[in-house]
């Protein structure tokens, strides 16, 4: 009896202990928050909530993935495995058979629409069979004329529907496959019976179902143009091209026919991937300039509204008809920059309307949750890259325009976060992107040595980065209050930090100058832009692959032109391949900027030095990591070969992290617990740490450890 009681007591104690270890978890993610600035401003008393969280729990700088890129780090955050295993190692990857760049995280597919090419036969045949049945009944009842007439009408109607369906119903629709490998921690938690709400985590599109789960996808959801985000700039300026220095980010610039009276124009909508002709679906728009030229009236998609310079609209609905039966619905906002002497009108990227999403376009799980959220809390941006950094980067938008859009976006996201915190979930995860976007375009104001530093603008915008961090601090305060109420574990983390981007490094140019890449003479080469990724632009048109041993593409990677892997490979596997990698590593690190005598490259690592497992046909051979102040050029990322190796970065896009050594751009990690371990956290550690606090086992071998 005594032993039985002792056993029961021990079992009860173990059960109580296990229950105590199983707690609710809130994970608050921020893109691009730098550990150095966070610690500095906490110490100065400017981030009170984070300082309080540090005092009550633990703060440590967090090591991002190699490379330190948003989709790469967040994929490891989600799955607990390194980029070699997730397969997400960059924004871009190359096809070794064509050398062409494509997006790394997603593959576009064609899915049958309904019954595919059998749609006309199915509809026409079904109608004909129905009328045939009716005709047979009439004939059986000796109503010969009625039966024959019915049969003729049925045949005619079936033939008409056959033609109509063939004309108006597509055979296929575009689809998307997420290439990220691994099991997200919320799916592992769901299998153990935990309820979870996951919002705006990057690389979660299209949303996949999981038990007891709700999700809104993050970075990866395209705009209606199929882009990461394509804004519009309507202008009557004859010299409008001066507004943007390069338009590498492919802003849709629309020339207006006049600067007064009623101006007729159009909005280019989605590419016509259903029927092919016309190539884009466009809708008309009129801009009526007031007689005093102090305002404009815009009419589009059955809506009219008046704007004065500096005004923003609320959400505007757009309907893009492919034909009378098929339409896509979008939402966006206009901002009137100027009405005189020239009209300058901005339209933000057009988001898919969450209330009316096209079939198969999964931005939420369950699919009905996206429209439910809109009904409960109002319309919201569905685009994964929510805040437009492109227009300001190319000179089409002002700092104030960017800031207005950022605050407006965060207000809605924060409203949603507050609502989701009230749900009875075991796990709540939401990511906010705004610190990263502010860092990219406002870093020039925290670095007076930056080529784009403007002393006059710095008077107004010098504290923009701090204000963004303080906005983050306010959101952390909301999460701390919710965690205390729920007795939950709170983790606050970012995927990487930031560095100053003072100079471009054109790695392909360096490869040419040092004999690793050979160009063909007399071939005209256009400057690369993002649009070329989508519209089948030419790439590598001037490269002589028969004499090229290495090439650079993506945000900091070098590929060997390996025989048997690349279509026109010349480097033999084995000793020649190994020796070339070693030589490139040594020479790239030894590279010197002649203007400053600095070394732009801090380290070069071979893939096998970073990843335990990887696909040798996909993962780059070398990762080039820059020192603070340098970054791989946009032209290199798209396979360009400018004339000089180095180029001052005079652009608004002034801060970055993509090819910077991860040890320089560390993110943040906070938890409202005192950790005993002195381990410097790595982003893969969050996965087992979250599951451990939930009392859920890790489903496979991960590259992180639980932090306790």
- For residues 669 and 501, give the distance between their C-alpha atoms in angstroms, rounded to a whole number: 24
pLDDT at 7: 40
Q: Looking at residues 365-369, what average pLDDT do you find? A: 97
pLDDT for residue 166 is more than 80: no
Q: Looking at residues 11-30, what average pLDDT do you find? A: 65
Q: Looking at residues 179-188, what average pLDDT do you find? A: 97
- The DSSP bridge partners found for residue 268 are 282
The first and second tokens of residue 676, run together, are 């005993």
pLDDT at 197: 98
pLDDT for residue 430 is more than 90: yes
- Cβ atoms of 249 and 638 closer than 8 Å: no
pLDDT at 174: 84
pLDDT digits (tens, 9 = 90+) for 658-674: 999 999 999 999 999 99
pLDDT for residue 149 is more than 90: no
Instruction: Find the helix packing angle between 686-694 and 70-79, rounded to 10°.
Output: 30
Q: Which of 98-107, 253-262, 356-365, 645-654 has the lowest mean pLDDT?
A: 98-107
Q: What percent of the chain has pLDDT over 90?
A: 77
Q: What is the mean pLDDT of the chain?
A: 91
Confidence band, pLDDT 50/70/90 cuts, at residue 532:
low
pLDDT at 129: 82
Confidence band, pLDDT 50/70/90 cuts, at residue 536:
low
Spans of all domains in the chain = 23-61+184-221+384-498+667-708, 114-169, 227-360, 502-656
Q: Looking at residues 499-526, what average pLDDT do you find? A: 91
pLDDT at 19: 43
pLDDT for residue 341 is more than 60: yes
Q: Looking at residues 291-299, what average pLDDT do you find? A: 97
pLDDT for residue 27 is more than 90: yes
Q: Looking at residues 43-58, what average pLDDT do you find? A: 98
Confidence band, pLDDT 50/70/90 cuts, at residue 530:
low
pLDDT at 385: 97
Helix ranges (H only) for 65-210 are 70-79, 83-86, 119-140, 144-168, 185-191
* Distance from chain centroid for Cα 550: 29
Phi-psi region of 558 (alpha: psi -120 to 50; beta: other; left: phi over 0): beta
pLDDT for residue 106 is more than 60: yes
Q: What is the pTM of this model?
A: 0.91
pLDDT for residue 182 is more than 50: yes
Confidence band, pLDDT 50/70/90 cuts, at residue 154:
confident
Q: Looking at residues 547-566, what average pLDDT do you find? A: 96
pLDDT for residue 260 is more than 90: yes
pLDDT for residue 531 is more than 80: no
Q: What percent of the chain has pLDDT over 70?
A: 93
- Cβ atoms of 500 and 453 closer than 8 Å: no
Higher pLDDT, 579 or 100: 579
Q: Which of 64-68, 124-128, 208-212 has the lowest mean pLDDT?
A: 124-128
pLDDT at 175: 87
pLDDT digits (tens, 9 = 90+) for 594-607: 999 999 999 999 99
For the chain, count helices (H), then strands (E).
20, 31
pLDDT for residue 11 is more than 70: no
- The DSSP bridge partners found for residue 110 are 174
Q: Which of 192-201, 322-331, 522-531, 683-692 has the lowest mean pLDDT?
A: 522-531
**Number of Cβ within a 10 Å radius of residue 5:** 9
pLDDT for residue 570 is more than 80: yes
Higher pLDDT, 448 or 243: 448
Phi-psi region of 487 (alpha: psi -120 to 50; beta: other; left: phi over 0): left
Grouping H, G, I as helix, E, B as strand and the rest as coil, residue 513 is helix
pLDDT at 246: 58
**Number of Cβ within a 10 Å radius of residue 211:** 13
> What is the 8-class DSSP label of residue 514?
T
pLDDT for residue 21 is more than 50: yes
Q: Which of 13-27, 87-101, 312-326, 401-415 has the lowest mean pLDDT?
A: 13-27
Report the b/e string of 471-486 with b at 16+ CB within 10 A.
Answer: bbbebbeebbebbeeb
- For residues 403 and 284, give the distance between their C-alpha atoms in angstroms, rounded to a whole number: 29
Q: Looking at residues 1-9, what average pLDDT do you find? A: 42
pLDDT at 156: 84
pLDDT at 135: 76
Confidence band, pLDDT 50/70/90 cuts, at residue 45:
very high
> What is the 8-class DSSP label of residue 108?
E
Confidence band, pLDDT 50/70/90 cuts, at residue 293:
very high
The first and second tokens of residue 640, run together, are 């360009």
pLDDT for residue 17 is more than 50: no
pLDDT for residue 452 is more than 60: yes
**Number of Cβ within a 10 Å radius of residue 253:** 18
Q: Looking at residues 311-315, what average pLDDT do you find? A: 98
Residues in the chain: 708
Q: Looking at residues 355-368, what average pLDDT do you find? A: 95
pLDDT for residue 679 is more than 80: yes
- The DSSP bridge partners found for residue 282 are 268
Confidence band, pLDDT 50/70/90 cuts, at residue 151:
confident
Nearest one of 411, 423, 495, 361 to 74, comparing CA atoms: 495
pLDDT at 366: 96
Q: Give the architecture (CATH level 2) of 23-61+184-221+384-498+667-708.
A: 3-Layer(aba) Sandwich (3.40)
The first and second tokens of residue 525, run together, are 């080469």
pLDDT for residue 634 is more than 60: yes
pLDDT at 244: 43
Q: Which of 142-151, 532-541, 554-563 has the lowest mean pLDDT?
A: 532-541
- For residues 693 and 708, give the distance between their C-alpha atoms in angstroms, rounded to a whole number: 10
pLDDT at 117: 80
């Amino acid at each position: 009896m005594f032993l039985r009681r002792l056993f029961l007591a021990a079992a009860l104690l173990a059960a109580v202990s296990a229950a105590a270890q199983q707690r609710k978890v809130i994970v608050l993610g921020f893109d691009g928050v730098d550990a150095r600035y966070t610690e500095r401003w906490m110490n100065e008393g400017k981030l009170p909530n984070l300082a309080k969280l540090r005092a009550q729990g633990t703060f440590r700088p967090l090591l991002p993935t190699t490379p330190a890129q948003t989709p790469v780090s967040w994929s490891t955050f989600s799955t607990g495995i390194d980029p070699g295993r997730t397969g997400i190692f960059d924004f871009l990857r190359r096809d070794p058979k064509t050398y062409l760049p494509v997006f790394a995280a997603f593959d576009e597919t064609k899915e049958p629409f309904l019954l595919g090419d059998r749609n006309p036969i199915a509809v026409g045949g079904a109608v004909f069979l129905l009328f045939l049945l009716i005709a047979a009944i009439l004939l059986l009842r000796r109503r010969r004329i009625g039966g024959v007439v019915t049969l003729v009408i049925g045949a005619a109607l079936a033939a008409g529907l056959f033609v109509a369906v063939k004309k108006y119903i597509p055979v296929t629709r575009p689809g998307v496959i997420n290439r990220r490998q691994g099991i997200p921690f919320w799916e592992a938690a769901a299998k153990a019976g935990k309820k979870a709400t996951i919002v705006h985590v990057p690389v979660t599109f299209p949303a996949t179902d999981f038990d007891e789960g709700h999700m809104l996808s993050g970075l990866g959801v395209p705009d209606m143009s199929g882009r990461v985000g394509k804004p519009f700039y309507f202008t009557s300026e004859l010299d409008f091209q001066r507004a943007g220095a390069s338009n590498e980010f492919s802003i849709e610039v629309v020339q207006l026919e006049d600067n007064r009276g009623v101006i007729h124009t159009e909005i280019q909508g989605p590419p016509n991937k259903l029927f092919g002709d016309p190539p884009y679906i466009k809708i008309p728009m009129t801009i009526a300039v007031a007689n005093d030229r102090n305002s404009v009236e815009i009419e589009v998609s059955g809506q009219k509204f008046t704007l004065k310079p500096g005004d923003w609209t609320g959400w505007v609905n757009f309907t893009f008809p492919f034909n009378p039966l098929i339409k896509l619905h979008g939402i966006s906002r206009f901002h009137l920059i100027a009405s005189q002497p020239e009209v300058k009108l901005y339209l933000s990227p057009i988001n898919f309307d969450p209330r009316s999403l096209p079939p198969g376009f999964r931005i939420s799980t369950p699919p009905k949750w996206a429209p439910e959220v809109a009904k409960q809390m109002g319309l919201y941006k569905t685009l994964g890259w929510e805040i437009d950094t492109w227009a300001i980067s190319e000179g089409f938008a002002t700092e104030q325009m960017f800031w207005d859009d950022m605050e407006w976006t965060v207000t809605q996201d924060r409203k949603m976060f507050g609502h989701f915190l009230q749900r009875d979930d075991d796990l709540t995860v939401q990511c906010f992107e705004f610190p990263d976007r502010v860092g990219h375009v406002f870093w020039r104001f925290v670095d007076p040595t930056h080529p784009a530093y403007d002393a006059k603008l710095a008077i107004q915008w010098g504290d923009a980065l701090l204000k963004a961090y303080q906005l983050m601090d306010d959101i952390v305060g909301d999460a701390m209050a919710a965690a205390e109420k729920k007795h939950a574990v709170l983790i606050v983390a970012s995927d990487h930090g930031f560095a100053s981007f003072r100079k471009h490094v054109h790695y392909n140019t360096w490869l040419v100058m040092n004999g690793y890449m050979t160009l063909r003479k007399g071939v005209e080469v256009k400057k690369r832009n993002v649009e070329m990724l989508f519209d089948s632009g030419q790439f590598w048109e001037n490269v002589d692959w028969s004499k090229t041993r290495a090439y650079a593409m993506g945000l900091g990677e070098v590929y060997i032109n390996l025989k048997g892997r690349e279509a026109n490979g010349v480097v033999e596997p084995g000793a020649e391949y190994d020796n070339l990698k070693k030589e490139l590593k040594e020479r790239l690190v030894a590279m010197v900027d002649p203007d400053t005598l600095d070394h732009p490259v801090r380290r070069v690592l071979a893939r096998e030095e970073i990843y335990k497992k990887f696909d040798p046909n996909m993962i780059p051979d070398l990762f080039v990591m820059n020192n603070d102040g340098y970054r791989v050029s946009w032209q290199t990322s798209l396979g360009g070969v400018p004339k000089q190796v180095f180029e001052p970065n005079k652009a608004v896009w002034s801060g970055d992290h993509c090819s910077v050594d991860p040890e320089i751009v560390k993110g943040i990690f906070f938890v409202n617990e005192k950790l005993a371990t002195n381990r410097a956290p790595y982003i893969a550690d969050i996965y087992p740490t979250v599951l451990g606090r939930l009392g859920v086992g890790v489903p496979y071998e991960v590259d992180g450890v639980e932090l306790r």
